[in-house]
């Protein structure tokens, strides 16, 4: 009985095995001449795992053409589960491609549409997600269009060309040429035309075009061998290319041809012809008078012919000092420090001062000027009338040397970046040394009035340059790796490697970029956007376009929809009118008028303060915050109950998010953002891997995904190596490994035993808890206190509050520092704080134009852009998006033991950033992100002679103990004696 059962069982097994081979013969045996299709078909059939078998079968349309009707019919009836993805239309020509659809809605639309180019298919199948399906549909269309022939061999050879998504081999094309002659010559021509289009790197971008005409033009343009600029010129005539449209984004970010553009400068030393734009047009918006504004526009617009008139009427007018400083920033920006001069020796070792032209060339020019004045006994300044002088070898010779050097080396005032000599110095020098009898009708006072401004708070005093620098012997720990620019090519952007040397051991790196115009020193990094001025019919307005830097060029631009009209602001509370870019105070708040709109900080002022107390500010002068208290003006309680906004920012409680930041309650969830895991459940499609990508988005609440969807990495051997530690304290040798293992990066470098997650959490000044100090550093944030965040903190109140009474603050570095307390923090930091008022509307507008909706502007991007403008490697900048939607920047030394000189230089670096923002320098306004900065308020730390906090108490305790021991020892000695 047992033997009979075993015999029957074996018979069924054999028959079942034979049946499977019968099916294989039925499904795959008729595939002829398409080796890849047959191999993949047999691979799918022989797979034992049902799930993998189904997956392989669904992928067959990539290599098997739709005209193999018997194949698809056989597979549909043989492979379990395939019918769930199929449709009754599967056996129609071209419909096998629909099996490749990732989203059910796309598959359904694919099976139902009668025309593969219909709008229904485009709406349902997004090119970004359904590329395989669309390519399959496209090649089947090409097969149907080209391959109709009475000659069977010609038809089959043609169909084999379009059988796979891969580029056809030369052998396949030769077979078409051999079998499709004479009457079938049309087939050969059609095949070669379609293949040429499919080989075009930008082919997939053309599918994103809005209409059929644009698609046709796009394919022809991209198939041509014309330069990239010519292709885009053709496209712009027939297609609407914007950075918010699919075609524009695809051309910018996915175009292979753009990535392989040859760079003649690197190959032959020839400098490419730059985009025809003059960045000095940015500065016209700072003109005080309409006359100079119009002259500025016509002078710096293409073909302007008012250069001489502009120079005579505006270029040396002290009233227009802001505009003139802005113009100087384009070609000769202010840099910290000056050394190496042979004639102007008193300008050397000025580590804490700013200069525009500290070069040997200018040093020699100063020497030449001084010698000419000495020989000719007359002085010519700024091409103005000649001033006759006495013998300057005996009449204030050191002063005249300082004048010659100041005019050439051009020191910058720290607040205004102006380089004009103070009127008091002018009156002193000319009062003593001018030949008054030879001045004619002119007077010394009139000459100095033309040369020097009324505002003596923003001029250059020559007195300090009559003697050597105080820091003559101090040079250690002061490095400026990128000044002068060490990069080989003029289009390269020099970036400092702070803390971590580059691969070549250097403390800087050169990255490709685009000079924003023919004379500016400003370079936009490859992939970033520049905001460039344009003139529209010589309107008295400031108009702009946004252009992306691609391989050293700015090929595609889009014009911003609105222009700046320099409108003044009528403020109802003060009943006053403020000019465009004028800064003023309302109570204790800092405000700016920008094109008719008043933007202010939002501190809560002391009760009893004069609510109507307002006053205009001197240029670049910020009000202090002596009259501010806790800014809980949103009427929030002081208890810490964190919530997370959809912008990725942690707010200290719901009230702060809804009342202070105007965040909709639907855009808030409970808990800190770091405690919310965005990949559970995974929002990505089945074939994609969800990777955590935490960020705080600036000016965007609608789209700020905390994850990215990527194809699962299979092989990480070719990826760039950089040690990374994940949130579970596991080491990885590359970002690829972290993604492959579905982990989240905690920080860069080797896993530190003292940074094991959960062992020592810390609270950042942004109110977010970090798993360790290493994670805090990786996020580019400063420490508030050790332990998780547990209090709302202080907001501008200098007195200790009960909210921070139990917080143990860390010792500042250096210990003698009298620091500043960032808004919402409990503890001081030894950093210069810049509170930036920025235009949220502008940055949101920029977000829509220049960024993909899945790539909003982030907090880290803003800090990184500012970071490029710090020239000393011992200084760094940190920052966060404030509760009131201001941006807080913190500039500090990053050395282990900061020297006094390093401390002072970092303060000067912060002051430089302050002035670039407040003067609307093109260095900032040419950047699509930083151009949204409207005004800034500065709060500086200082150094005290006394040790603070624990250091002071420890020192005092030690001293007291020593004194007590000495006293006891002396008393014992007395008793013994």
Indicate whether 662 and 781 sit together in one domain: yes
**How many Å apart are CA 822 and CA 785, to the nearest integer?**
13
pLDDT band of residue 184 (cuts 50, 70, 90) is: confident
Per the domain annotation, does 695 fall within a domain? yes
**How many Å apart are CA 73 and CA 88, to the nearest integer?**
11
Per the domain annotation, does 467 fall within a domain? yes
Tokens standing for residue 925: 């306004």
Indicate whether 519 and 467 sit together in one domain: no
The tally of domains found in the chain comes to 7
Q: Among 325, 811, 563, which Cα is nearest to 317's? A: 325
pLDDT at 861 over 60: yes
- Amino acid 505: pLDDT: 65
What letters, b where the CB count within 10 A reaches 16 and e where it falls short, cover 72-102?
bebbbeebeebeebbbeebeeebbbbbbbbb
Whole-number average pLDDT of the chain:
80
Indicate whether 853 and 774 sit together in one domain: yes
Q: What's the count of helices (H) and strands (E) in the chain, helices before strands?
A: 31, 34
Per the domain annotation, does 613 fall within a domain? no
pLDDT band of residue 8 (cuts 50, 70, 90) is: very low
User: Which residues does 884 contact at the CB level (< 8 Å), separation at least 6?
Assistant: 601, 602, 631, 660, 661, 823
Q: Tell me: cis bond preceding 933? Omega within 30 of 0 counts.
A: no
**How many Å apart are CA 964 and CA 445, to the nearest integer?**
68
Indicate whether 879 and 774 sit together in one domain: yes
Per the domain annotation, does 10 fall within a domain? no
Per the domain annotation, does 280 fall within a domain? yes
Give the length of the chain.
Answer: 977
- Amino acid 186: pLDDT: 87
Q: Which of 161, 176, 198 is the last residue of a domain?
A: 198
Indicate whether 339 and 419 sit together in one domain: yes
pLDDT band of residue 618 (cuts 50, 70, 90) is: very low
List, for residues 56-79, the tens digit of each pLDDT value: 888 888 888 888 888 888 888 888
Percent of the chain with pLDDT over 90: 31
Indicate whether 702 and 819 sit together in one domain: yes
- Amino acid 633: pLDDT: 58
pLDDT at 812 over 50: yes
Per the domain annotation, does 729 fall within a domain? no
Is the separation of the CB atoms in 895 and 499 below 8 Å?
no
pLDDT at 449 over 70: yes
Indicate whether 670 and 708 sit together in one domain: yes
Per the domain annotation, does 29 fall within a domain? no
Indicate whether 806 and 923 sit together in one domain: yes
Predicted TM-score (pTM) of this structure? 0.71
pLDDT at 19 over 80: no
Residue 394, helix vs strand vs coil:
coil
**How many Å apart are CA 864 and CA 876, to the nearest integer?**
10
Indicate whether 348 and 465 sit together in one domain: yes
pLDDT at 259 over 60: no
DSSP codes joined into one string, 50-87: HHHHHHHHHTGGGTS-TT-HHHHHHHHHHSTTGGGT--
**How many Å apart are CA 226 and CA 247, to the nearest integer?**
19
User: Which residues does 342 contact at the CB level (< 8 Å), separation at least 6?
Assistant: 360, 363, 367
Tokens standing for residue 578: 């403020």
List, for residues 346-395, the tens digit of each pLDDT value: 999 999 999 999 999 999 999 999 999 999 888 987 655 688 999 999 99
Is the separation of the CB atoms in 819 and 903 below 8 Å?
no
Is the separation of the CB atoms in 722 and 734 below 8 Å?
yes
Per the domain annotation, does 511 fall within a domain? yes
pLDDT at 960 over 60: no
Burial degree of 670 (CB within 10 A; 0-12, 13-18, 19+): exposed
Indicate whether 167 and 219 sit together in one domain: no
User: Which residues does 223 contact at the CB level (< 8 Å), separation at least 6?
Assistant: 196, 197, 199, 200
- Amino acid 270: pLDDT: 27
By DSSP bridging, strand 688-692 and strand 668-670 are unpaired
DSSP codes joined into one string, 694-752: ---BSS-SS---SEEEEEPPS--TTSPP--EEETTS-EESSHHHHHHTT--EEEESSPP
Indicate whether 877 and 909 sit together in one domain: yes
Q: Which of 284, 314, 331 is the last residue of a domain?
A: 331
Indicate whether 344 and 327 sit together in one domain: no
User: Which residues constitute the domain of residue 299?
Assistant: 276-331
DSSP codes joined into one string, 218-281: HHHHHHS-S-HHHHHHHHHHHS---TTSHHHHHHHHT-HHHHT---HHHHHSPPPPPPS--GGG
Distance of CA 928 to the CA centre of its chain: 9
Is the separation of the CB atoms in 157 and 176 below 8 Å?
yes
Burial degree of 611 (CB within 10 A; 0-12, 13-18, 19+): exposed
**How many Å apart are CA 911 and CA 353, to the nearest integer?**
11
- Amino acid 826: pLDDT: 93
Q: Which of 331, 358, 374 is the last residue of a domain?
A: 331
């Amino acid at each position: 009985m047992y033997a009979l059962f075993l015999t029957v069982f074996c018979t069924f097994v054999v028959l079942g095995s034979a049946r499977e081979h019968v099916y294989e013969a039925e499904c795959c045996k008729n595939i002829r001449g398409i080796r890849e299709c047959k191999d993949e078909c047999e691979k799918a059939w022989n797979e034992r795992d049902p799930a993998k078998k189904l997956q392989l079968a669904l992928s067959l349309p990539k290599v098997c053409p739709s005209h193999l009707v018997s194949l698809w019919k056989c597979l549909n009836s043989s492979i379990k589960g395939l019918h769930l993805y199929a449709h009754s239309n599967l056996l129609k020509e071209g419909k096998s491609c629909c099996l490749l659809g990732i989203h059910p809605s796309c598959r359904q639309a694919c099976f139902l549409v009668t025309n593969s180019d219909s709008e229904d298919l485009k709406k349902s199948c997004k090119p970004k997600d359904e590329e395989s399906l669309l390519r399959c549909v496209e090649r089947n269309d090409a097969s149907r269009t080209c391959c109709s022939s009475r000659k069977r061999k010609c038809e089959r050879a043609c169909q084999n060309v379009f059988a796979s998504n891969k580029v056809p081999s030369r052998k396949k094309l030769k077979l078409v040429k051999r079998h499709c002659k004479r009457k079938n010559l049309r087939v050969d021509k059609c095949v070669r035309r379609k293949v040429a289009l499919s080989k075009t790197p930008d082919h997939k971008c053309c599918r994103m075009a809005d209409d059929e005409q644009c698609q046709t033009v796009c394919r022809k343009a991209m198939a041509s061998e014309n330069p990239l600029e010519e292709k885009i010129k053709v496209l712009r005539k027939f297609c609407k290319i914007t950075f918010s449209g699919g075609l524009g984004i695809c051309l910018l970010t996915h175009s292979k041809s753009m990535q392989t553009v040859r760079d003649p400068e690197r190959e032959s030393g020839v400098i490419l012809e730059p985009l025809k734009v003059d960045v000095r047009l940015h500065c016209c918006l700072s003109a005080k008078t309409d006359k100079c504004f119009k002259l500025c526009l016509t002078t710096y617009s293409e073909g302007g012919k008012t250069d001489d008139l502009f120079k005579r009427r505006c270029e040396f007018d002290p009233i227009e000092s802001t505009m003139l400083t802005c113009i100087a920033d384009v070609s000769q920006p202010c840099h910290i420090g000056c050394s190496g001069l042979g004639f102007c020796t008193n300008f050397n070792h000025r580590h804490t001062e700013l200069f525009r032209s500290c070069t040997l060339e200018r040093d020699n020019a100063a020497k030449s000027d001084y010698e000419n004045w000495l020989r000719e006994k007359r002085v010519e300044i700024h091409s103005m009338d000649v001033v006759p002088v006495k013998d300057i070898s005996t009449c204030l010779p050191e002063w005249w040397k300082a004048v010659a050097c100041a005019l050439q080396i051009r020191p910058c005032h720290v607040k205004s970046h102006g380089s004009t000599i103070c009127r008091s110095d002018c009156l002193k020098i000319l009062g003593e040394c001018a030949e008054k009898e030879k001045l004619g009708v002119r007077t010394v006072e009139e000459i100095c009035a033309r040369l020097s401004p009324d505002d003596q708070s923003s001029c250059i005093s020559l007195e300090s340059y009559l003697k050597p620098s105080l820091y003559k012997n101090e040079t250690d720990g002061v490095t400026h790796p990128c000044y002068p620019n060490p990069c080989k090519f003029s289009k390269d952007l020099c970036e400092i490697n702070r803390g971590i040397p580059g691969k070549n051991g250097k403390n800087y790196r050169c990255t490709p970029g685009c000079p924003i115009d023919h004379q500016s020193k400003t370079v936009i990094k490859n992939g970033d956007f520049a905001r460039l001025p344009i003139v529209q019919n010589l309107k008295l307005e400031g108009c702009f376009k946004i252009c992306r830097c691609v391989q050293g060029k700015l090929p595609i631009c889009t014009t911003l929809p609105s222009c700046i009209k320099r409108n003044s602001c009528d403020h109802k509370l003060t009943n006053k009118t403020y000019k465009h870019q004028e800064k003023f105070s309302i109570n204790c708040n800092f405000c700016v008028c920008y094109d008719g709109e008043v933007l202010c900080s939002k501190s809560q002022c002391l009760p009893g303060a004069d609510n109507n107390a307002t006053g205009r500010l001197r240029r670049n002068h910020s009000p202090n915050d002596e009259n501010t208290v806790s800014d809980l003006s949103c009427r929030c309680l002081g208890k810490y109950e964190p919530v997370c906004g959809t912008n990725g920012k942690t707010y200290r409680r719901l009230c702060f998010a809804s009342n202070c930041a105007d965040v909709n309650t639907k855009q808030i969830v409970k808990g800190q953002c770091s405690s919310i895991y965005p990949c559970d459940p995974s929002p990505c499609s089945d074939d994609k891997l969800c990777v955590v990508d935490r960020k705080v988005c600036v000016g965007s609440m609608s789209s700020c995904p905390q994850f990215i969807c990527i194809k699962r990495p299979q092989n990480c051997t070719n990826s760039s190596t950089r040690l990374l530690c994940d949130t579970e304290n596991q080491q990885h040798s590359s970002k690829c490994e972290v993604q492959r293992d579905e982990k989240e990066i905690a920080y860069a470098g080797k896993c530190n035993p003292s940074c094991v997650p959960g062992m020592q959490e810390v609270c950042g000044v942004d109110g977010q808890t970090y798993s360790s100090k290493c994670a805090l550093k990786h996020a580019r944030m400063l420490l508030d206190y050790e332990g998780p965040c547990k209090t709302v903190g202080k907001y501008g109140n200098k007195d200790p509050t009960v909210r921070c009474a139990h917080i143990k603050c860390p010792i500042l570095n250096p210990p003698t520092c009298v620091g500043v307390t960032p808004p919402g923090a409990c503890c001081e930091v030894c950093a210069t704080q810049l509170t930036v008022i920025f235009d949220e509307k502008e940055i949101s507008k920029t977000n829509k134009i220049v960024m993909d909706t899945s790539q909003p502007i982030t907090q880290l991007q803003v800090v990184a852009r500012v970071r490029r403008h710090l020239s000393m490697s011992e200084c760094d900048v940190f920052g966060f998006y404030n509760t009131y939607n201001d941006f807080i920047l913190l500039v500090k030394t990053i050395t282990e033991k900061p020297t006094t000189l390093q401390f002072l230089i970092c303060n000067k670096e912060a002051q430089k950033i302050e002035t670039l923002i407040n003067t609307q320098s093109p260095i900032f306004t040419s950047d699509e992100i930083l151009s949204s900065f409207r005004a800034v308020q500065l709060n500086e730390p200082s150094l005290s002679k006394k040790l603070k906090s624990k250091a002071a108490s420890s020192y005092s305790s030690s001293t007291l103990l020593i004194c007590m021991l000495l006293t006891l020892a002396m008393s014992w000695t007395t008793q013994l004696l």
